[in-house]
Amino acid sequence: MSETAAATILVVEDEEAIAEGLRFNLERKGYRVDLAADGQQALNRVASHRFDLILLDVRLPKVDGFEVCQRLRRDNNFTPILILTARNQADDIVHGLQVGADDYVVKPFDLAELLARIEGLLRRQGWKRDPESNGNEEEAPELGRVPFGEYWVDFRSWQAKTRDGVQELSRKEMAVMKIFVTRPNQVITRRELLAEVWELPNHPNTRVVDNVIVALRKAFEENSWRPHHIHSVRGVGYRFVF
């Protein structure tokens, strides 16, 4: 937890009162905080500093949050980005995730929820990117047999109980399932899956992802069109439900 507590967060928010409120609350939680008041400032800050997370309002003067996201990802900067969107702007959420945001919180946000999302993203980041700190990072969260509905996946034996009985899953299928079961009920974008499972962060072709999803649905869904566990989020990716 100590490395999480020392994380540096860039808060990009043009409304000063909100920005200062965020700074106050984040610093109280032990984070280091830097502020940017518009998208251009944010890009400048990111070009010269390393942040552990970017809290990014999408409605910003000069360069908006979507473009900030897009430009960072295009430059192979994969700092976790949590976007702040306005209520009643579902399009903003979808668009934000499409251009590379990792998660979102709707304004006016609940502080406890925002802090939980930040912690969640930082934890994922630590698990993914800290191979030196803890030996083998891929095995960090020790997963055994994980049940869902009538099925289970066993991450030690690479076996799964499927509609056709116990079978071995492929390496990619296991990796996708691991992401699903460790991040249930969250939108997982195809881009994230490409980056994390295939290590192809900027690959334009998501067909490899779709093929694995087809295989997993065949294994775990009676009716692929009305899935119980592996749901599609149109145009964005998937959401796993236990």
Sign of the CA dihedral with 76 first, then 10, 196, and 101 last: negative
With respect to Ca ion, which residue has the nearer C-beta, 14 or 210?
Answer: 14
Contact region with Ca ion (CB under 5 A), list: 39-47, 58-66, 199-207, 217-225: 58-66
- Alpha carbon distance 76, 73 (integer Å): 5
With respect to Ca ion, which residue has the nearer C-beta, 34 or 64?
Answer: 64
- Which residue of 14, 67, 137, 210 would you call a contact of Ca ion, by CB under 5 A? 14
Distance of closest approach, residue 190 Cβ to Ca ion, in angstroms: 28
With respect to Ca ion, which residue has the nearer C-beta, 12 or 219?
Answer: 12
Q: Give the helix/strand (H/E) hosting 104.
A: strand 103-107
Helix (H, G, I), strand (E, B) or coil at 31: coil
Q: State which residue has the least CB distance to Ca ion.
A: 59
Given the structure tokens 């881009």, which residue do they identify? 191
With respect to Ca ion, which residue has the nearer C-beta, 45 or 123?
Answer: 45
Distance of closest approach, residue 106 Cβ to Ca ion, in angstroms: 13
Q: Name the amino acid, one letter, at 226.
A: R
Distance of closest approach, residue 37 Cβ to Ca ion, in angstroms: 10
Q: Applying CB under 5 A, does 67 fall inside the site for Ca ion?
A: no
Beta strands in 13-102 (DSSP E): 32-36, 53-57, 81-86
With respect to Ca ion, which residue has the nearer C-beta, 86 or 214?
Answer: 86
From the centroid of its chain, how far is CA 47?
Answer: 22
Distance of closest approach, residue 86 Cβ to Ca ion, in angstroms: 8
Number of residues that bind Ca ion (CB under 5 A): 3
Binding mask 68-107 for Ca ion (x = CB under 5 A): ----------------------------------------
Close Cβ partners of 67 (under 8 Å, ≥ 6 residues apart): 39, 99
Distance of closest approach, residue 19 Cβ to Ca ion, in angstroms: 10
For residues 225-237, b (16+ Cβ closer than 10 Å) or e, as one string?
Answer: eebbbbeebeebb
Distance of closest approach, residue 66 Cβ to Ca ion, in angstroms: 12
With respect to Ca ion, which residue has the nearer C-beta, 89 or 98?
Answer: 89
Q: Do residues 203 and 164 make contact, with C-beta atoms less than 8 angstroms apart?
A: no
Q: Residue 10 forms beta bridges with which residues?
A: 34, 54
Q: Applying CB under 5 A, does 59 fall inside the site for Ca ion?
A: yes
Q: Applying CB under 5 A, does 29 fall inside the site for Ca ion?
A: no
Q: Give the helix/strand (H/E) hosting 66.
A: helix 65-74
- Which residue of 38, 52, 57, 154 would you call a contact of Ca ion, by CB under 5 A? 57
Peptide bond into 108 cis (omega under 30): yes
Residue ranges in contact with Ca ion by CB under 5 A: 14, 57, 59
